[in-house]
Structure 1
């Protein structure tokens, strides 16, 4: 029997040792990767109050988000459970000349209360919860790491969009049976815990987190019959994505849902020191 390239962890989470190349190609390759990064480049300054605060980047993967924040003056702690992914992130940040702003921490999300307790005024956790066996527990952990007034930039894989995509592809029985989760035991990159907006709203309320803003990332691209081929068509698609990413009802079918969640309380001082 062949050992899976990326077996589930003891927590039921999927890590990506042995899959860094496939991960990079699948999540960041081609137009869909360009759109994801370009939309985040515009959305993050609008959805977050950014003042150069220290950032905890949870499940930082290949380092794209860490590079974005470090390049804008934020000291970053990049936490990632996969040694292979962490090394790739280190290489990418070195190439971007921002590695001096980044501390690398090999640790799963569940270890962060001990390894990076904070409290943190700014946390980013993008495209992580959907790979975890207990996403609600993970959100509770993140909430516990936030300082009063602290912001959590959370991006999750949208279960409703996954269902819609399966219908568009003709997988009607799969959609009817609600068999949308991946198993995490082979090389296919289907999330093990895709999430709905309703779940995030309920969990945030239970945990005492305020939802300040929400947007959909890739609300059109993933339903196209064929990807745009010319530069002009790619630019038109980006303008459509940007125009409707925060407009009802379109944002609700974004492949990813992007939230700013805030822990109520006094906002940390702009002159705060790095968290312990």
Structure 2
């Protein structure tokens, strides 16, 4: 039996009951949140082969991503463990045909087994006690030829951000993970590209596309104040988000992972 006041689930995942407002303000409010959504609006059609296929949105939170796909003709199932977040998602998705399912990622093989031609899992793995096992679970839900849109919080970008802020000892000791306490929203398991690549290969997934989300914005000494500067920043982000080496230091890393069709014939 877990402590209802604990920010962790029984398996050690960070959950967000009681933090919906903080979550919305910190991750989607303000210029950085707007930039993240603007970049996804452009990148998702570029990085995914979309043709109205059913979508499983894992850890769908407040419903922004589910709404984006539903508006484009996809039959969306949104799975989210937090009752509070699911309530907020239901409100934001009014008018969209989205199935809501209260379930953690680990329960999806029983609750939403698929196989799914399209899965989205954005900003979820970094809040889990065992992100490696979570990616294996997602791979098991994916149909042959299916696509997984995966976005993770970038550990290397977090290190650079700490250096820029002057937290040299913390960066040198590699003490980058959040503790999941109080209302802090530093992820408990930020990931590296090397981890995503290795775990994808373990599960028979191929990295087809990769991009960095906010490769410049989080390192600015001052955020842009004018509309013109915000437009210039967005143009820079769009120009370099898929180019090496810039994508590697995006605050988030966005992947299209694919289960090869040849597995079915084999």
SS of the residue 2:207 aligns to: strand
Quick one: distance in 2 between partners of 1:266 and 1:203? 19
Please state if 1:216 is matched with 2:207: no
Deviation per residue, 1:128-182 (Å, 9 max, x gap): 0000000000000000000000000000000000000000000000000000001
SS of the residue 1:153 aligns to: strand
Quick one: distance in 1 between partners of 2:18 and 2:188? 18
Number of the residue aligned with 1:89 = 89
- Deviation, 1:5, is 5.8
- Deviation, 1:265, is 1.2
Cα contact 1:75–1:102 (8 A) shared by 2:
yes
- Deviation, 1:10, is 1.3
Number of the residue aligned with 2:65 = 65
- Deviation, 1:185, is 2.2
Deviation per residue, 1:73-92 (Å, 9 max, x gap): 00100000000000000000
Number of the residue aligned with 1:36 = 36
- Deviation, 1:267, is 11
Compute the TM-score of the two structures, normalised by the length of structure 1: 0.93
Quick one: distance in 1 between partners of 2:23 and 2:76? 22
Match among 148, 151, 155 for residue 152 of structure 1: 148
Q: How many corresponding residue pairs?
A: 262
Of structures 1 and 2, the one scoring higher in RCO (CA 8 A, sep 6+) is 1
Number of the residue aligned with 2:107 = 111
Deviation per residue, 1:224-270 (Å, 9 max, x gap): 001100000000000000000001100000000000000111699xx
Quick one: distance in 2 between partners of 1:92 and 1:61? 11
Quick one: distance in 1 between partners of 2:176 and 2:8? 18
Equivalence map 1:165-180=2 (5 Å)? 165-180=161-176
CA RMSD after TM alignment: 1.4
Please state if 1:56 is matched with 2:47: no
- Deviation, 1:64, is 0.2
Number of the residue aligned with 2:133 = 137
Quick one: distance in 1 between partners of 2:50 and 2:230? 29
- Deviation, 1:6, is 5.3
Cα contact 1:55–1:75 (8 A) shared by 2:
yes
Cα contact 1:59–1:108 (8 A) shared by 2:
yes
SS of the residue 2:93 aligns to: helix
